[in-house]
Amino acid sequence: MIRAVIFDFNGVLVDDEHLHFQLFRDTLATVGVSLSQHDYETKYLGFDDRGCFTEALRDAGLIPDPDLIDRLIALKAHRYLEHADEGLTYFDGGATSIERLAARWPIAICSGALRAEIEHALRRMGVRHQISAIIAAEDTDRCKPDPEGYLLALDALRAAHGEDLEAGHCLVVEDSLAGIVSAKAAGMWVVALPNSYPEQSLRKAGADAVIPSLTELTPETIAQLFAPQVWP
């Protein structure tokens, strides 16, 4: 049975993938690397900042020096928080969905975003107190599509809610192909949102179900979608 829900962040709760592309593009331009929207969407969307900068530099024929990567991450993070202070756009139904699901199951966040970005958005949404655990970019050594982040989220949920929690008890809410691959590799169920990719691509990546928006992500919908596989 489903006993916990883990949300991705960018592209799921916060409508900011376009902003991340702009900031990656502008930050990479400071070191002479160009980034097209097509390349971002097909190669890097779903990566954390370190993974995106590392791969973009390699693809440009440059050495991804750790100190340089750290400077690029810091510059992008500063610019992101400037935009966040001006106001982020949130997907309809996000706060309500978290409130409904949190009344039944523990909720975690697993994202390649920086912790400060996640905390800021959750406070603005008014749902920070309903989140049991946050796994952010600073907590992982390997970004999605590696399963490390989701396995760390499972560990955090186990510590807070019971050691008998298994990966197969967790439902992940994702929008990116890399995120779906990550969650499935961790042994979890995935419901995907077509906010960044079309339904066909999400299902091909391994999503168990696709729903139109967060407004439809309710305990009742989860019961209906996953009853044949995991519901008691």
pTM: 0.87
* Helix ranges (DSSP H) in the chain: 17-29, 37-39, 49-59, 66-86, 94-102, 115-125, 148-161, 177-185, 199-205, 219-226
List pLDDT tens digits, range 25-43.
999 999 999 999 999 989 9
- State the amino acid at position 79 in one-letter form: R
Looking at residues 4-18, what average pLDDT do you find? 94
Q: What is the pLDDT of residue 84?
A: 76
CATH architecture of the domain with range 4-15+89-226: 3-Layer(aba) Sandwich (3.40)
Q: Give the start-to-end residue ranges of the domains of the chain.
A: 4-15+89-226, 17-86
Residue 30: burial class (beta carbons within 10 Å; 0-12, 13-18, 19+): exposed
Q: Is the torsion defined by CA of 139, 143, 144, 147 positive or negative?
A: negative
* pLDDT reading at 174 higher than 80: yes
Considering the domain 17-86 in this protein, what is its CATH number?
1.10.150
User: Prior bond to 145 cis, omega within 30?
Assistant: yes
Torsion of CA 185, 188, 194, 197, to 10 degrees: 0
Q: Do domains 4-15+89-226 and 17-86 have the same CATH topology?
A: no
CA nearest to 94, candidates 213, 224, 225, 219:
213
